[in-house]
């Protein structure tokens, strides 16, 4: 089987990781691979746009933004004549199937090509352009689509390739603006991409603690700007030193006309008397090295695409990721549903459009609206306190959890107390009252503002905790942390029979860079840790690419190999040594032989990633000496 790969439509970071995974998984399975340059236009042009790929063709591209295959918009491919020419080129090149990485438009084109395939071959045979036997009962043309779009507007996947990187870029940019805004009391208006999809604007606003968001899916009545101005005014009165307002380029007034940045600044100036600065993030959102998440996503989807295209089922599908697993959805359904949301928005049916975006989108919008308030909706009720705390070791994102928990609870009139240093602090009575504005700037701070340290709970601590729970009238605990925090909560639960004060709900929120907790796909903090690791690995790759060197890199994760495995996928490491696999001498021997062959074949750099507790016998230094 010969498989073609194209990237089409708007480019997105992570497309290269998909190209690499498709190429290498296909070659590994004995298929041939042809990289087709410049998207659908390249398929129409043929000739030098088709290039056979071998293993090395996709070496060293994992960390590159954009796409090595290039992408173009193609008017020709929108016509039957153009697609017939494309079919001719594909047939002449002996290509049996295509993996198409792109957005809605690109996948719509792919579906058409599939549907017209037999027709095109018959016409080409009749014209004498291909041998007649090729058109007799032709096998269906195999098509697999992968979602590639920074807008994250595609049906059939929770995330499309590129969206996470774009979101990280937005978060970084807004963080920088916030730090300058704070020193000068400024208002920033930030425009992000998203013509019909507010994903980047909404999640960017949640992730940066922005004060207002405008998205295409939300209905704007004629009074939307009054509400916006009022909210910002209240924020200033409550002591907020700066405001950030994020809007998607596709946000519209009630009459359907686009909301421009100038309109927003004008409103802020006349109604609020503030000079707002506008930042249009533009194409920087498309650029840059893909995030760890995008690299892993693209690699997994690429591998699944090859499985499907080499498998028995000829139905054209898009492979997306749903609930953290690759999932195939028939392409006609993907195309129809994606178009339907767009049509709903164009026709002003916002309610339906929002529903179609799904639960997590709706939830996030609701959460944002609560978090961005200047003060809680409800008066403080006499219902005791909820205690929030973080257990050690700390993980990035803990402060965002605390901020959200406090505001969501307080908004409903529930009093919240902060407990410093987790359950240990509770035993000591290290408790403080926390108010709405106390957590204002916590969103992007690393570590934990309440303190998170390792703590060994002793039986003697339990009555002390019971006492403090009574003293502070604590009616529930939200404990943020890793395995040791879970175990401490468990001990408290077991002591309920002897201490009635402990008969209160305890909610655990998984936060550890190790990603080793049950009942969740991801723990808070793991993604940041992974991005830190691949940043470092990318630097190693750049500095070392001139020499013949092997780097042995130890990563954290305790008994969990998640960071080691995911960072290996995201960096293209040659070897990974995980606790789940263990390390034995045969395995080292085999991996080293392979590395040797790689060097003999022109490889310049070897990367070995070892989890900190991969083996009780063979530690990092042992592996390094063997490599030497
Ligand atoms: P994206 O794939 O990111 O949505 P576009 O909408 O620009 O980007 O589509 C990329 C290319 O896919 C177009 O230039 C065109 O060649 C092809 N395409 C898009 N829509 C169609 C369609 N309805 N019929 C045929 N080809 C299409």
- C-alpha pair distances (Å), 134 with each of 82, 119, 126, 143: 20, 12, 11, 18
Taking the CA atoms of residue 261, residue 262, residue 263 and residue 265 in that order, the dihedral angle to the nearest 10 degrees is 90
- Cis peptide preceding 393, ω within 30 of 0: yes
Kind of pairing between the strands at 317-322 and 142-147: parallel
CA distance 450 to 431: 10
- Which residue out of 151, 415, 527, 591 is catalytically annotated? 151
Among 20-24, 154-158, 178-182, 391-395, which is the least confidently predicted range?
178-182
Tokens at 497, concatenated? 């029979």
> What is the distance in A from the centroid of ligand 1 to the CA of 580?
44
Q: Whose alpha carbon is nearest atom 7 of ligand 1?
A: 9
With 0-12 CB in 10 A as exposed, 13-18 as middle and 19+ as buried, what is 381?
exposed
Considering the chain, what percentage of its residues have pLDDT values greater than 70? 99
3-state helix vs strand vs coil in the chain, percent to 5: 45, 15, 35
> What is the distance in A from the centroid of ligand 1 to the CA of 257?
25
| Residue of 105, 114, 153 to test ligand 1 pocket, by largest number of atoms within 8 Å of CB | 105
What's the pLDDT score for residue 221?
86
CA distance 9 to 51: 20
| Residue of 81, 109, 166 to test ligand 1 pocket, by largest number of atoms within 8 Å of CB | 109
425 near 389, Cβ under 8 Å?
Answer: yes
Mean pLDDT of 467-480: 98
What's the pLDDT score for residue 390?
98
Q: What is the 3-state secondary structure (H, E, C) of 488-503?
A: HHHHHHHCCCCCHHHC
Strand-pair partners of 508? 479
545 near 605, Cβ under 8 Å?
Answer: yes
Mean pLDDT of the chain: 94
Query: What number does the ligand 1 atom closest to the CA of 73 have?
Result: 14
Question: The tokens 């792919």 sit on which residue?
Answer: 110
**What φ, ψ does residue 93 adopt, rounded to 5°?**
-80, 0
In the chain, what is the straight-line distance between the N-terminal and C-terminal CA atoms, in Å? 41
Mean pLDDT of 605-625: 93
Give the count of alpha carbons within 13 A of 126, CB side only: 7
> What is the distance in A from the centroid of ligand 1 to the CA of 110?
9
157 near 322, Cβ under 8 Å?
Answer: yes
pLDDT at residue 532 above 70?
yes
Please provide the size of the chain in residues.
Answer: 628
Q: Whose alpha carbon is nearest atom 26 of ligand 1?
A: 109
Query: What number does the ligand 1 atom closest to the CA of 148 have?
Result: 3
CA distance 397 to 463: 31
> What is the distance in A from the centroid of ligand 1 to the CA of 334?
14
Q: Whose alpha carbon is nearest atom 12 of ligand 1?
A: 106
Question: The tokens 């929030």 sit on which residue?
Answer: 388
Q: How confident is the model at residue 50 (pLDDT cuts 50, 70, 90)?
A: very high
pLDDT at residue 546 above 70?
no
What's the pLDDT score for residue 179?
81
CA distance 329 to 316: 9
CA 140 to chain CA centroid, Å, is 34
CA distance 113 to 566: 36
Question: The tokens 């190209």 sit on which residue?
Answer: 19
> What is the distance in A from the centroid of ligand 1 to the CA of 105?
3
> What is the distance in A from the centroid of ligand 1 to the CA of 492?
58
93 near 327, Cβ under 8 Å?
Answer: no
Q: How confident is the model at residue 545 (pLDDT cuts 50, 70, 90)?
A: low
Dihedral angle sign, alpha carbons of residues 607, 613, 618, 622:
positive
CA 531 to chain CA centroid, Å, is 11
CA distance 405 to 478: 8
Residue 359 CB contacts under 8 Å (≥ 6 apart), including other chains: none
Mean pLDDT of 511-533: 96
pLDDT tens, residue by residue, 74-92: 999 999 999 999 999 999 9
209 near 369, Cβ under 8 Å?
Answer: no
pLDDT at residue 99 above 80?
yes
> What is the distance in A from the centroid of ligand 1 to the CA of 114?
15
Mean pLDDT of 48-70: 95
Considering the chain, what percentage of its residues have pLDDT values greater than 90? 85
Dihedral angle sign, alpha carbons of residues 569, 573, 575, 577:
negative
Query: What number does the ligand 1 atom closest to the CA of 107 have?
Result: 2
pLDDT tens, residue by residue, 351-366: 888 888 888 899 999 9
Q: How confident is the model at residue 622 (pLDDT cuts 50, 70, 90)?
A: very high
pLDDT at residue 544 above 80?
no
pLDDT tens, residue by residue, 166-224: 999 999 999 999 887 667 778 999 999 999 999 999 999 999 999 999 999 998 888 89
pLDDT at residue 22 above 90?
yes
What's the pLDDT score for residue 181?
67
Query: What number does the ligand 1 atom closest to the CA of 10 have?
Result: 3
Q: Whose alpha carbon is nearest atom 16 of ligand 1?
A: 74
> What is the distance in A from the centroid of ligand 1 to the CA of 443?
39
List residues near ligand 1 (CB under 6 A).
8-10, 40, 73-74, 77-78, 102-106, 108-109, 112, 149
pLDDT at residue 597 above 80?
yes
CA distance 317 to 327: 9
Query: What number does the ligand 1 atom closest to the CA of 103 have?
Result: 2
- Decide if 473 is catalytic: no
Q: Whose alpha carbon is nearest atom 6 of ligand 1?
A: 105
| Residue of 8, 112, 166 to test ligand 1 pocket, by largest number of atoms within 8 Å of CB | 8
Q: 3-state DSSP call for residue 561?
A: coil
What's the pLDDT score for residue 558?
84
Q: Whose alpha carbon is nearest atom 19 of ligand 1?
A: 105
pLDDT tens, residue by residue, 560-594: 999 999 999 999 999 999 989 889 999 999 999 99
């Amino acid at each position: 089987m010969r498989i073609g790969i194209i990237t089409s439509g708007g480019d997105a970071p992570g497309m290269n990781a998909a190209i690499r995974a498709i190429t290498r998984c296909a070659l590994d399975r004995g298929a041939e691979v042809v990289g087709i340059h410049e998207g659908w236009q390249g398929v129409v042009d043929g000739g030098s746009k088709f290039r056979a790929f071998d293993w090395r063709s996709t070496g060293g591209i994992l960390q590159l933004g954009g796409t090595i295959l290039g992408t173009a918009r193609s008017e020709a491919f929108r016509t039957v004549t153009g697609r017939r020419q494309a079919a001719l080129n594909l047939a002449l090149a002996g290509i049996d199937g295509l993996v198409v990485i792109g957005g809605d438009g690109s996948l719509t084109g792919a579906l058409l090509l599939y549907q017209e395939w037999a027709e095109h071959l018959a016409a080409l045979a009749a014209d004498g352009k291909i041998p007649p036997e090729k058109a007799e009962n032709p096998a269906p043309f195999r098509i697999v689509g992968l979602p590639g779009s920074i807008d994250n507007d595609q049906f059939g996947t929770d995330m499309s390739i590129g969206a996470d990187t774009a979101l990280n870029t937005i978060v970084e940019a807004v963080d920088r603006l916030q730090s300058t805004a704070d020193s000068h009391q400024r208002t920033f208006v930030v425009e992000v991409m998203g013509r019909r999809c507010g994903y980047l604007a909404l999640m960017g606003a949640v992730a940066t603690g922005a004060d207002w968001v405008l998205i295409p899916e939300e209905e704007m009545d004629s009074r939307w700007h009054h509400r916006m101005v009022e909210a910002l005014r209240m924020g200033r009165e409550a002591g907020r030193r700066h405001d950030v307002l994020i809007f998607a380029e596709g946000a519209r007034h009630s009459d359907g006309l686009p909301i421009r940045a100038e309109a927003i600044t004008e409103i802020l100036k006349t109604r609020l008397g503030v000079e707002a600065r506008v930042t249009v993030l533009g194409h920087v959102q498309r650029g840059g090295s893909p995030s760890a998440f995008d690299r892993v996503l693209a690699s997994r989807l690429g591998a699944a695409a090859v499985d499907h295209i080499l498998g028995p089922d000829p139905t054209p599908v898009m492979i997306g990721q749903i609930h953290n697993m690759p999932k195939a959805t028939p392409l006609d359904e993907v195309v129809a549903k994606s178009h339907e949301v767009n049509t709903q928005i164009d026709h002003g049916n916002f309610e339906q459009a929002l529903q179609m975006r799904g639960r997590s989108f709706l939830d996030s919008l609701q959460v944002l609206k609560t978090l961005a308030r200047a003060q809680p909706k409800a008066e403080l009720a006499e219902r005791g306190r909820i205690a929030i705390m973080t257990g050690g070791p700390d993980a990035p994102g803990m402060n965002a959890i605390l901020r959200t928990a406090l505001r969501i609870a307080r908004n409903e009139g529930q009093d919240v107390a902060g407990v410093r240093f987790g359950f240990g602090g509770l035993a000591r009575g290290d408790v403080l009252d926390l108010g709405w504005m106390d957590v204002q700037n916590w969103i992007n701070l690393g570590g934990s503002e309440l303190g998170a340290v390792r703590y060994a709970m002793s039986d003697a601590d339990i009555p002390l905790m019971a006492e403090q729970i009574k003293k502070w009238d604590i009616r529930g605990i939200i404990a943020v942390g890793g395995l040791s925090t879970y175990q401490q909560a468990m001990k408290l639960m077991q002591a309920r029979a002897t201490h009635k004060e402990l008969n209160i709900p305890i909610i655990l929120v998984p936060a550890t860079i190790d990603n080793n907790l049950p009942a969740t796909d991801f723990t808070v903090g793991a993604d940041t840790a992974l991005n830190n690791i691949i940043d470092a690995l990318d630097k190693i790759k750049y500095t070392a690419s001139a020499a013949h060197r092997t780097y042995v890199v130890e990563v954290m994760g305790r008994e969990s190999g998640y960071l080691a495995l995911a960072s290996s996928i995201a960096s293209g490491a040659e070897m990974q040594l995980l606790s789940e696999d263990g390390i034995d001498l045969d395995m080292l021997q085999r991996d080293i032989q392979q590395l040797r062959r790689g060097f003999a074949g022109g490889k310049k750099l070897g990367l070995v990633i070892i989890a900190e507790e991969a083996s009780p016998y063979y530690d990092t230094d042992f592996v390094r000496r063997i490599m030497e």
